[in-house]
Amino acid sequence: MIALLKVHLRPYSKPIAVVMVLLLIQAIASLYLPNLNADIINNGIVKGDNNYIIRTGGLMLIVTFLLGVCAIVAVYFGARIAMGFGRDVRAAIFKRVAGFAQVEINHFGTASLITRNTNDVQQVQMVIFMALTIMILAPITGIGGVIMAVREDVPLSGLLIVILPLMALVIGLVMRRAIPLFQAMQAKLDRINQVMREALAGVRVIRAFVRTRHEEVRFDAANTDLFETSIRVNRLFAVTIPTMMAILNLSTVAVMWFGSMRIDSGGMPIGNLTAFLAYLMQILMAVLMAVFMFILVPRAAVAAGRIQEVLTIASSIVDPEEPVTLPPIVQAHGDGSGQASSTSAGTVEFRHVEFHYPGAEQPVLHDISMTVRPGETTAIVGSTGSGKTTLINLIPRFYDVTGGELLVDGVDVRQMRREDLWQRIGVVPQQAFLFSGTVASNIRYGDESATDEAVWQALDIAQAKTFVTEMEGGLDAPIDQGGTNVSGGQRQRLAIARALVKRAPIYIFDDSFSALDFKTDAQLRAALQHELHSAIVLIVAQRVGTIMAADQIIVMDEGRIVGAGRHRDLLETCQTYREIVLSQLTAAEAAA
């Protein structure tokens, strides 16, 4: 927690210094008031000096006013510092997560990362605010109160030797049990978020399989688990506060008892007793404030540890210290007449590539060697689990190869800056995802500077122009988060248009035509062939009809390439490919 605060509170060092000065003034003023009150009793009321009472009372009003002003200003600055800290930490977490490889995202889990950037940050933020208004003030008031109490009457101050260790013992016992419970609470909060996220994302599957009751039970189990842990924590502190108040009240009774004996013997003026009582209250209130902070600090410490874990974890995929400078990106699209607007891109080459996931015993990909050239459409087919998607995820470095080399334009991708690599690739993922906004904002995600004409052209090529024109607002038609207000096929076509408007030299389509009907699929493939005839095009497909005309078909089985060539050649030479084709087409259709 200290490391997190040290880094992210450094920009607020001056405001923190101002707050500390204000709190110091506030503490001094609060410690001075009981002394003034004692003077009024001893020198004004007892002696009947009204002028002294008025003068000292006026001074008390001034000190009280100063105390109030300092308190207001300190709270204002404390709130600004705490809110600014929360803003900065959330931004740091988001920036850090944005640079994570898929390995790190899988390690933490989406639900946990969201919790860490919301609830965990809020816990630490709350402690900072309370620290700047209570934690700093409490020790100053407590220590100052002890000094002033001793100054009022030394023998009576002996009661503090019993009271303070007793309160410290209670606090220590509570914290010993509270910290493990707070750690468990954060983990169980992650679990609730995970279950809730799964239920919302998979609501259609849940309803289709009539599993609503099952999900309710699953959520209730996670919710009850958190509830029971929270109850244990609250029970712990439900005992703590009354215990501390009992010590406070018993201490007051003891002071009144022994103080009255001191006054009766003439060893202590009555004004000093009232001041001593006020200082005792300040000391005990400082301890109670410390207890309140101790309630918050353990949970915040756990939250800070979870945040720091995200901020300090080393990403498995990083940019090289001295990246290779790549040539400028060349446009690989047609200009509408079927001619390339610039020279073609380089090649994508796999050289004995091997890959296995972290912790896996066996590689997912074995000895993959192939070359993808510009102006060619390369299709990758294979049974489920054969490694097709994993293979193409290596190109944009969503994962790094664990053996061999993967080269783009003759350069190992691990020697490039990732942003330089990503600028060269247009990706249409297996699950088409759209952002909340409009049609235009989603398409321009590929190129913010794209004109309306370029957007419409991309939509036309992606066979999306017709339905976008029919939508109310056209390019300004709203898109809900995840594209839930459009069909699966429409989402896929909008995702394809988003990639096309980027005008990249390399395109990867990961099973991006699965939701399209055969007519739209054929029209889209024809348009892509016309538009991207000089680009590198990689297509992962389950539907054989989508890739029969590809210049090169790579057949995969259990992470290995078992065939490579054109459709007709593979029908004769590759049994795996022949089985895939004949499972979807008749022999006559396959040979056509």
Query: Using one digit for the tens of pLDDT, what is the confidence trace for 389-408?
Result: 899 999 999 889 999 999 99
pLDDT of residue 561: 92
* 348, two tokens: 């994508």
Closest CA to 503 of 426, 408, 420: 426
Q: Which residues in the chain land under pLDDT 50?
A: 332, 335-344
The residue written with tokens 């404030």 in the block is: 289
pLDDT at 342: 36
CATH 3.30.360.10 correct for 2-312: no
Strand partners, 564: 554
Residues 6+ apart with CB under 8 A from 566: 550, 551, 552, 553
What's the pLDDT score for residue 444? 92
Element (H or E) spanning 475, and its range? none
Residue 45, C-beta contacts closer than 8 angstroms, at least 6 positions apart: 53
- At 29, list the tokens: 């003023």
Q: Given 3.30.450.20, 3.40.190.80, 1.10.510.10, 3.40.50.300, which CATH number is that of 351-424+505-519+532-592?
A: 3.40.50.300
Decide whether 351-424+505-519+532-592 matches 432-503 in CATH topology.
Answer: yes
> Strand 552-557 vs strand 560-565: parallel, antiparallel, or unpaired?
antiparallel
Q: Where are the domains of the chain?
A: 2-312, 351-424+505-519+532-592, 432-503
Rounded to whole angstroms, how far apart are CA atoms 195 and 215? 8
Neighbours of 201 (CB within 10 A): 12
Which tokens go with 445?
Answer: 């995600």
Residue whose C-alpha is closest to residue 81's, from 135, 34, 147: 135
Beta bridge partners of 557: 560
Q: Look at the alpha carbons of 400, 403, 406, 411 in this order and tell me if their dihedral is positive or negative.
A: positive
Residue whose tokens read 């605060």: 5
Q: Where does 153-211 have alpha helices with state H?
A: 154-157, 160-201, 203-208
Assigned CATH for 432-503: 3.40.50.300
pLDDT on residue 329: 65
Task: Count the neighbouring beta carbons within 10 Å of the beta carbon of residue 472.
Answer: 7
- Per the rule left: phi > 0, alpha: psi between -120 and 50, beta: everything else, 279 is alpha
Strands (E), 478-530: 478-479, 506-510
Tokens of 446: 């590929």
SS3 281: helix
SS3 of residue 372 by DSSP: strand
- Cα distances (angstroms) measured from residue 315 to each of 104, 311, 318, 388, 523: 7, 10, 6, 24, 42
Asked whether 289 and 134 are in contact (CB, 8 A), the reply is yes
d(CA 485, CA 472): 13
User: How many C-alpha atoms does 450 have within 13 Å on its Cβ side?
Assistant: 26
Which run of H or E residues covers position 93? helix 50-98
Do residues 509 and 432 lie in contact, with contact meaning Cβ atoms separated by under 8 Å? no
Burial 528-552 (b: 16+ CB within 10 A, else e): beebbbbbbbbbbbbebbbbbebeb
pLDDT at 378: 92
Task: Locate 462 and state its tokens.
Answer: 């992606």
Distances in whole angstroms, Cα of residue 387 to Cα of each of 178, 355, 357, 391, 551: 47, 10, 12, 6, 21
- Provide φ and ψ at 329, rounded to 5°: -70, 135
Listed in sequence order, the residues at least 6 apart from 39 whose beta carbon sits closer than 8 Å to its beta carbon are 52, 56, 271
Residue 64's CB is within 10 A of a number of other CB atoms, namely: 14
Tell me which H or E stretch contains 382: strand 377-382
In the DSSP assignment, the letter for residue 354 is: E
